């Protein structure tokens, strides 16, 4: 799918305060807009979740005028909110270049996230890169989505399809299982539902595409036996 761009191709990248803005336009703003529900009221964390962006980027967008400040901003004890319709209008306008960012004076780490690669930005990123990857993974695959994946797989939905149902990749699901022991166990337990008794747990079933728990175990054991044989 072609991604919307605000700025023309070929060298006409705009900079403000020396910061390249092209990166924000590489994001699929129209895709994000399409995931919003017009009548829902979104808090900033809720919008960041839907957009699969760190919250700091949403703050940067507010600072840059990509999206409006939201109702409740600046008040005491209130959280800023937007309707899905407001956010969708702002994102669509940004994607179509009708509302260009006018100010982009943000922290080095945020500038890195938006595409800057000067020493200051790279330094901030290397300090935070692991945290950042976790933050992104968490934003894209929040607890509710993880629970849904487990429920779907437990009901016999293949991992690929279960992942697609919550807009993540299979590798993100397995990556999470690798880092998060609790989720890994839940995935293993649910994955038993994918295997067929009497057929699964063999190299053939894995080759035929079964990624149920019995088949994955057999596949991993076989790989280990092969490595041991080579050693």
Beta bridge partner(s), residue 20: 15
Beta bridge partner(s), residue 41: 83
Asked if residue 168 binds Zn ion (CB under 5 A), the reply is no
Minimum CB separation from Zn ion for residue 164, in Å?
A: 20
How far is the first Cα of the chain from the last one, in angstroms, to the nearest whole number? 46
Supply 197's token pair. 């008794």
Among 104, 205, 218, 219, binds Zn ion (CB under 5 A): 205
Asked if residue 215 binds Zn ion (CB under 5 A), the reply is yes
Minimum CB separation from Zn ion for residue 186, in Å?
A: 18
Residue 183 to residue 173: CA distance in whole angstroms = 9
Supply 191's token pair. 């994955």
Asked if residue 190 binds Zn ion (CB under 5 A), the reply is no
Part in contact with Zn ion (CB under 5 A); list of ranges 23-31, 81-89, 171-179, 202-210: 202-210
Angle at 24 between CA 18 and CA 26, to 5 degrees: 120
Part in contact with Zn ion (CB under 5 A); list of ranges 44-52, 101-109, 120-128, 207-215: 207-215
Question: Within positions 70 to 109, which residues make up the interface with Zn ion, using CB under 5 A?
Answer: none
Part in contact with Zn ion (CB under 5 A); list of ranges 16-24, 45-53, 138-146, 192-200: 192-200
Asked if residue 4 binds Zn ion (CB under 5 A), the reply is no
Report yes or no: 187 and 211 within 8 Å, Cβ to Cβ: no
Q: Cβ contacts of residue 229 below 8 Å, gap of 6+?
A: none
**Residues contributing to the site for Zn ion (CB under 5 A):** 195, 200, 205, 210, 212, 215
């Amino acid at each position: 799918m072609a991604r919307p761009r605000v700025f023309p191709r070929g060298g006409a990248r705009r900079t403000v305060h020396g910061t390249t803005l092209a990166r924000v336009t590489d994001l699929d703003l129209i895709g994000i807009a399409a995931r919003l529900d017009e009548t829902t009221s979104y808090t900033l964390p809720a919008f960041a979740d839907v957009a699969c962006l760190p919250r700091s980027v949403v703050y940067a967008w507010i600072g840059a005028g990509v999206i409006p400040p939201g109702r409740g901003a600046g008040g005491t004890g209130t959280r800023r909110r937007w309707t899905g319709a407001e956010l969708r209008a702002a994102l669509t306008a940004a994607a179509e270049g009708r509302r260009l960012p006018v100010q982009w004076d943000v922290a080095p780490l945020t500038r890195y996230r938006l595409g800057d690669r000067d020493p200051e930005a790279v330094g901030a990123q290397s300090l935070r890169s692991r945290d950042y990857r976790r933050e992104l993974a968490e934003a894209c695959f929040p607890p509710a989505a993880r629970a849904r994946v487990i429920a779907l797989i437990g009901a016999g939905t293949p991992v690929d399809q279960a992942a697609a149902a919550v807009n993540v990749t299979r590798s993100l699901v397995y990556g999470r299982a690798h880092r998060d022991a609790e989720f890994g166990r839940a995935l293993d337990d649910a994955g038993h539902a994918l295997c067929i008794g009497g057929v699964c747990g063999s190299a053939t079933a894995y080759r035929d595409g079964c990624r149920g728990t019995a088949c994955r175990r057999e596949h991993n054991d076989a790989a280990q036996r092969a490595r041991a044989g080579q050693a």
